[in-house]
Amino acid sequence: MPTSPGPSTGRAPRTRGLWRTGALAGAVTLALTTSLGAVPAAADELPGIGEVVMSDNITHVANVPKPAPFDTQAAYNTDLAFTGDYVIDGNYNGFVIYDISDPTEPGIVSKVLCEGGQGDISVSGDLLYFSVDYPRADENCGSPASNAGNADAFEGIRIFDISDKSAPQYVAAVRTDCGSHTHTLVPGEDGKTDYLYVSSYAPSANFPNCQPPHDKIAIIEVPLDDPASAAIVNEPVLFPDGGNHDQPGLSRPTQGCHDITVYPERDIAAGACMGDGILMDISDPVEPVVVERVQDENFAFWHSATFSNDGKKVIFTDELGGGGAATCTDQTAPEHGANAIFTLKGRIGPGANDPELNFAGYYKIPRLQGANENCVAHNGSLIPVQGKDYFVQSWYQGGVSIIDFNNPARAREIGYFDRGPLSEQLSMGGSWSAYYYNGYIYSSDIQKGLDVLKVEDRRLKQAEKVEYTEFNPQTQPHYKPGRG
């Protein structure tokens, strides 16, 4: 059951009247609803190897296989970012830019080979930011792999100029402690500066650039007129008490964060931090303040977060098994490897009352998967229907799920796209990220490449009126009809 371990200032005390009082805010218990139960299925009812199945409201309009040199099994496709008529797909070996002016026929515009692992990306105008989480001998593209015991090895953020989509140019790099597993773009209010919240973890006394305790994030400031001068401007400690280390069943103790989603219009952020879920006031983006913190005995690894458009709900995901395990079988409890949906009471910001996250319910895909399919909750985004709460989400080899969470205690699947297993043996694959962008769903499949889906559903029709010119899912926009 989710609980609050009490206030966490994120650094030296700064009294703003925002902390919850008391060491424990109390536990909340909720009976699991039928939406959690997997649909019973015999083995011969599951999709066959490579077989594509989908709900009646989904059409699979395009697939572009991974191109060389990104087509090896070890070169995972990862996250997506969108700008105008382009989608950029991160990969462990670099990134690929696709022209999606006709979403039914995506075309490859350019490929950038620049190994570094993870490949989490975001885009800001003519700049692309790229996370490097595997040590390299130096910061340059093409540098050989190194190891974390090498004090001169590079991990962190690489910056590219993509003003010419056909020929991106490497600009600069910024080293960060423990590298960059993910990063989140926070646009500066002056329109002249970007801030990047860099999340990383797994410290060791044997790693000179990743020493414990690692209870912080790094904040990089990027002057847009001089991105080569990007530098770290703060490393706020979010867990001065050390975070959640003792809960049974944790994949890893809290050692920094895995991912952060910001909602700039509301000056708030939600952090998924391994053993903890947090809310932050980011009204000063260089000095984020933790204002609420929750834990859940059913979560193994707090992975990512998304706000509802009105900011009154937060979906946190649990990446049980690290993404490589088969956790969507009848051998895994339905509240494990799932989403946890919280309601948010109170407001965040100067003069606001104390914010409070309250657990409402879990959601896990209701479609059983095979023991040879890695499957767990992963990256997703809102489908922009004003006044309603719909979410599209990747589940690795569990496919893509469209979720109605208008009632957070009874979230339910209203559409899906699913491939059968890669092989008879458990192997890494499936949808890493699935996002809605300008009328279509784009899915980055780890092994199969870029998928484009069209959803036809009267409940989601209004979303087609919302058009974005740029979209980074972890930099959450506020939407209205006709405007992203």
* 255-302 per-position pLDDT tens digit: 999 999 999 999 999 999 999 999 999 999 999 999 999 999 999 999
* 342-371 per-position pLDDT tens digit: 999 987 766 666 899 999 999 999 999 999
Residue 348's pLDDT is: 77
The contacts of residue 337 (CB under 8 Å, 6+ apart) are 300, 318, 319, 320, 321, 327, 328, 364, 375, 376, 377
Residue 234 scores a pLDDT above 60: yes
Residue 35's pLDDT is: 38
What's the CA gap between 395 and 379, in Å, rounded? 8
Cross-strand partners of 390 = 383, 404
**Could you tell me which of 237, 258, 261, 215 has the C-alpha nearest to residue 122?**
261
For 95-104, 349-358, 394-403, 463-472, which range has the lowest pLDDT when averaged over its residues? 349-358
| pTM given for the model | 0.92
Q: Could you tell me what percent of the chain has a pLDDT over 70?
A: 89
All domains in the chain, ordered by first residue? 56-471 (2.130.10.10)
Binned at pLDDT 50, 70 and 90, residue 20 comes out as very low
* 445-473 per-position pLDDT tens digit: 999 999 999 999 999 999 999 999 999 99
Binned at pLDDT 50, 70 and 90, residue 1 comes out as low
Secondary structure, 3-state, the chain? CEECCCCCCCCCCCCCCCCCCCCCCCCCCCCCCHHHCCECCCHHHCCCCCCEEECCCEEEEEEECCCCCCCCCCCCEEEEEEECCEEEEEECCEEEEEECCCCCCCEEEEEEECCCCEEEEEEECCEEEEEEEEEECCCCCCCCECCCCCCCCEEEEEEEECCCCCCCEEEEEEECCCCCCEEEEEECCCCCEEEEEEECCCCCCCCCCCCCCCCECEEEEEECCCHHHCEEEECCECCCCCCCCCCCCCCCCCCCCCEEEEEHHHCEEEEEEECEEEEEECCCCCCCEEEEEEEECCCCCEEEEEECCCCCEEEEEECHHHHCCECCCCCCCCCCCCEEEEEEECCCCCCCCCCEEEEEEEECCCECCCCCECECCCEEEEECCCCCCEEEEEEEECCEEEEECCCHHHCEEEEEEEECCCCCCCECCCEEEEEEECCEEEEEECCCEEEEEEECCHHHHHHHHCCCCEECCCECCCCECCEC
What's the CA gap between 35 and 24, in Å, rounded? 29
Chain-centroid distance, C-alpha 48: 29
Q: Contact at 8 Å (CB) between 432 and 76?
A: yes
What's the CA gap between 396 and 407, in Å, rounded? 25
Binned at pLDDT 50, 70 and 90, residue 6 comes out as very low
